Structure 1
Amino acid sequence: MYKKDKKTISVAVHPGLRRILLKNPTQESLSTIIEYQLFEQASPPLSDDILRLLPSWEQQALEGNEVLAGLIQYMSQQSLSFIKNQKIIQANLLRIRILASTPGIISFPATEIQENLINFLKSSDILADLPELEVVSFSANEIKPLSSDLARFRLTPHSRRYIQNLFHPERREAILSVLAHITKNYPLISTCRQAYALMLSLDNPDIWGNHPFCVRLIANRFWDNKIMKTTEA
């Protein structure tokens, strides 16, 4: 975790130098950013630079630039208003941070997935069946209100709203972390592609309750609990 040194004085940095420091983060450039308190300089607006850098940062994260994760973590501690007010930017930075901090590199062209997302999302909900996702747990009490709907394989609008609330920020980050690991390290490249497609499709935190992958994840835990109770009986 990066903590602000109260003795550090903000130093004016030319916008061109700022863009250079942010473009390809290294440990040296990150230290400079922290030393100069780069994110406290309001003019010119930082948001434009960040928006332009997102595609480049995405690729660097997929290629294993772990320093990028540290940079985004540091940014998140600076209470930047343009990040707080835009959920999509928050989601992009979260995904990039998780990918950057996950060991490994991808073995497929990311643009292939980004440009054909719908195709790669077909049947991608089956990734919820992978053993890797078993680390994401839901308590029996959390699932109980959904029991009737899940048993009938039919969710009411109320149930979907309830499911949405189950995917709080910590759980969303845990799921994205597993998907990032699969993206970079799973032995089947087709599964790697689907995992990355899922990460992209989960950009909007407000749609998790309706996402087929998320619903299947909860349904799996429901049936796991049912089987466990039957076995114990």
Structure 2
Amino acid sequence: MDQTVPVFRCGACDAYFSNGGATNYDDADLTEYYTRYAAAIRARYNRLMTEIERYCSVGSLIDIGSGMGFSLQVAKARGWTASGIEPNQALVLSAKERGIDVVHGYLSDDAVGQYDVVLIDNVLEHVPDPVAMIRQAKRLMAPDALLVLAVPPFDWLRRWLGTIPIIRNNVSHPQINVFNEVDEHVNMLGRQGVRRLASATGLNILPVRYHHSRVFNNFVFLLLGLDDGYYFLRG
């Protein structure tokens, strides 16, 4: 049965949000997704790390919401010191079974560190106060560190609002439904929302917007609501 999720727009920052509370991802769905697409996820992070290394020398990285730790695995293979924080116990256990350093828990106000890169990949849409989270993340950043954000393509989701449900209802592909359902998100930040978020937290967006998919695939990924824009920020 279809469920209608009310979504509201903030006139000040152009962000969209729901006030009904978000549902949690099913552990089995998450595990299946990460397992099935492990090779593609690693390739995606290798491309991202190549771009990051244009702006940062190899150093230390922390991934907030690191899942099964593929980003950490890739970063370590490239010479980085990498660690992660993940609230999902099942994903933490899976990471630890593969020897990946992931701490179970949430980012807290008293968290401090000196990391060269702080990665927040598809996490902000799950927290009620993204500004507070970015301020917490800033406490982990070394001087001249890079904050890398990824958010789902809500600008495109709004633009293709009538098309995406048709595609999803008629295409059998598990990746289409795992991460982009509105009822699993409490806020939806488009480009303008990310700009306002950066301004509110004293950060500047670098003149790059990186997409994990190849150019040929970008249209298809955007059409399906799968392409995540990466934003690189510095203080």
Bigger helix share:
1
Query: Does the pair score TM above 0.5?
Result: no
Question: Larger radius of gyration, structure 1 or 2?
Answer: 1
Bigger strand share:
2
Give TM-score scaled by structure 1 length: 0.22
Give TM-score scaled by structure 2 length: 0.22
